[in-house]
Amino acid sequence: MNVLDMCRRRWSVRSFTGDPVDTKDLEYLMEAARWAATSGNRQARRFVLLRDAERIGELVQCASMQDFVRDAGVLIFGIAAERSKPGARSDVIISLAQLEMAAVERGLGTIWLGMWESEAVRQYLQVPEDMEPVVALAVGHAGERGAPRDKLSTEELFMYDRM
């Protein structure tokens, strides 16, 4: 499967089976994130992985996250390790984007999560004040898939030289 095939196969999973993610698959995903480009090669990103269904459920409840996340095999939080440094937030997102493509390659489903009670996440994960939880990615075995959605054409999405 090439990269474009993976991009076309990726979809936002809103139904996970609850089955755990295999350790070898998880290690593969972490390796993909590890090799992501970072601003100035500062590597100012860290990740917290929750694999225990009970812990995921606790965090979902205390941080007002979407309930279907409870059934993900792993919940990964991307943390900007140098909160005030330019590029740290982008580094997290680039790393998780690579991790997501590795998940597609391994036959796993994903969904990006950016809405939660930030302070609850910070406390639950014990994130230091100089770091910032940026985004989360739920990864697991996909359950039921919704209808595929249309995407804008390249002509609608990309402009040459000006808007």
Q: What is the pLDDT along the chain (163 residues), one digit of tens a residue?
A: 888 888 888 889 999 999 999 999 999 999 999 999 998 888 999 999 999 999 999 999 988 888 999 999 999 999 999 877 788 999 999 999 999 999 999 999 999 998 889 899 999 999 999 999 999 999 999 998 777 788 999 999 999 998 8
Domain 3-143 matching CATH 1.10.645.10: the answer reads no
Closest CA to 103 of 21, 47, 48, 159: 21
Q: Is the model's pTM score more than 0.95?
A: no
CA dist 117 → 63, 80, 162 (Å): 5, 17, 38
Please check whether residue 92 is in contact with residue 77, taking contact to mean a CB–CB distance below 8 angstroms.
Answer: no
